[in-house]
Structure 1
Amino acid sequence: MIYGYESALPASESIQNIEDLATTLHASLLALTSSETTRPIIFIAHNLGGLIVKQTLILLSKSRNTDDQRLFCAIDGLVFFGVPHAGIDIKSLVPRVGDGPNRFLLESIGSVNSQVLTEQYRKFYKAFGDKGEIKVICFYETLMRHFSSTCPGSVQLAINRHF
């Protein structure tokens, strides 16, 4: 399955936040499940998509719904490409967004004391603490701040920016 969402910054009409986007991904995943078996799931996510996947997994982990629990248990791995786990510097992006409806989403992942990402980080690791081994691999560009794009305890691979 390939999941997409409106990610354009300038002229965006979207007012969705990370939880809204995660709820939509959750619904798309449920539409693919069969009541009998669920194959292993590996998520591959880039940038904001990684934050959406993490929020979706938090939703699944908290749910008592049987289908949600089956999906959560089927998660075998996560591959993150340039996901701003610890936030991003939004100074250069704010002029592109202006006072548009998606400004709140952008500011919620800003690197200066992002309460949204701090809370997501805590809940994400709490959710997977009980699940046992899950493979997480984080790729990041060598020109990015390494600590922002990696998850503690994950395999971390730097990619040359011009690769």
Structure 2
Amino acid sequence: MKSFGQAWRRPRTSSSTVAESALTDFPDGVKIWHSPTDAEIDICFIHGLSGNRDKTWTAHGQHNPWPTELLQSRLAKARLLTYGYDAYVVKKSVSSTNRLIDHANNLLHDFTAERASSGIISRPLIFIVHSFGGIVCKTALIISRQSPESHLGQIYKSTRGIAFLGTPHRGSWAADWAKIPTWALGQVKSTNRNILDVLQTKNQYLEFIQTSFLSMIRELRETGRPLQITCFFEELPMPGVGTIVSKESASLEGYSAFSIHANHSEMVKFGSAEESGFKRLLGELVRWDAMFGTGDSTASSVAELESDGKTPNATSSLQTTTGHIFNASGGTQHNNTGAGNQFFGNFNGPVYFGLPSTK
């Protein structure tokens, strides 16, 4: 398999390749795809790097995102939403300087505000997340869990299930940006290295998020409200690049993991209800829908998949750094205001980074 650096080739520079509008109309925030009057559950879609809240979920040749075409009749009492954020980390124009924690905080605030304005702050919630969107989602839930502001804690309290599609829980070899030639990152394009660095394998901050997330789902299980989780990984490589997120990195120990016969980009673009990847995902959504009590799914042709996963043991951890300190539920929360990694969490015991690394 080619290294990521080998996949890059020096372009022929010209005024046309360098010149690009510095301002791009980027669709961000919450967008409602479908909102039945008798909705009993929210399903929110979050895209990954270089994604778009509509286009990421739209198959080639289709005019609308597949959830609006394939889920409305099958999950009749589900409100469908999508969330957008500037995830272009390598651009010819100006890249966003937002860090992971900034995207996560925005997601938490925007989604909380939308649900509050709709009067459904405690409605059961499912996330369907692709790639880096899964890391943003996990971080937002960790912040919600530890927030001293009760309204921001509602997302954590309401979340019932997450479908991770190609999420690099342990990083991705493709994020080893140090191997990309400097001309590709500095002279021609603008980059957001804060996000790129987080996604590298063996990144300490990514391990911290993973450890905190495992601690969170363990707590939910022990309090009688287990979080339903299913992972999906890509079967096919990206042309000229290879597999972006390995099966090992896309999976969580103790939870079901299924493949989707597509590459990393195409694995979230279902063209019809007959695709096996769609059927696998829908099977989980139907099962969760029945568990949460809405019970109005009409996808009778989809066999219910058994995936009674066990939550792996994980130790709650916190790595402190300089910045603002304020009291949070269960301990002290530290928010770093510098340009480096952001660490947050609560003090309940020793700090451990005991997760095995995946090469």
TM norm structure 1: 0.88
- Compute the displacement of 1:36 (Å): 6.9
Q: Which of 156, 164, 167 matches 1:83?
A: 167
| Residue number in structure 2 paired with 1:98 | 185
Residues 1:151 and 1:10: Cα distance change in structure 2 (over 3 Å) = same
Deviations 1:74-101 (A, max 9, x none): 1110011111111011247845961434
| Residue number in structure 1 paired with 2:36 | none
> Which piece of structure 1 moves more, 94-103 or 76-85?
94-103
| Residue number in structure 2 paired with 1:7 | 87
- Compute the displacement of 1:142 (Å): 2.3
Unaligned runs of 5+ in 2: 1-80, 237-242, 264-274, 276-359
Unaligned runs of 5+ in 1: none
Deviations 1:7-52 (A, max 9, x none): 2222342111111110110111121233675210000110111100
Residues 1:97 and 1:60: Cα distance change in structure 2 (over 3 Å) = farther
Residues 1:101 and 1:77: Cα distance change in structure 2 (over 3 Å) = same
Larger RCO (CA within 8 A; separation ≥ 6) = 1
Larger helix proportion of the pair: 1
Residues 1:97 and 1:155: Cα distance change in structure 2 (over 3 Å) = farther
1:39 and 2:123 aligned: yes
Which structure has the larger Rg? 2
- Compute the displacement of 1:106 (Å): 0.5
Residues 1:38 and 1:14: Cα distance change in structure 2 (over 3 Å) = same
| Residue number in structure 1 paired with 2:204 | 115
TM norm structure 2: 0.42
Q: Is the 8 A contact 2:107 2:140 kept in 1?
A: yes
Deviations 1:97-123 (A, max 9, x none): 614340221122111x21111000011
1:27 and 2:109 aligned: yes
> Which piece of structure 1 moves more, 53-62 or 30-39?
30-39
Give the distance between the partners of 2:87 and 2:180, measured in 1 at CA. Answer: 14
Residues 1:94 and 1:62: Cα distance change in structure 2 (over 3 Å) = farther
| Residue number in structure 2 paired with 1:18 | 100
Residues 1:91 and 1:117: Cα distance change in structure 2 (over 3 Å) = closer
1:159 and 2:260 aligned: yes
* Identity value in percent: 25
Moved over 6 A (4+): none
User: Which amino acid counterpart does residue 204 of structure 2 have in structure 1?
Assistant: Q
Residues 1:110 and 1:38: Cα distance change in structure 2 (over 3 Å) = same
RMSD (Å), alpha carbons: 2.2
Q: How many residues align?
A: 162
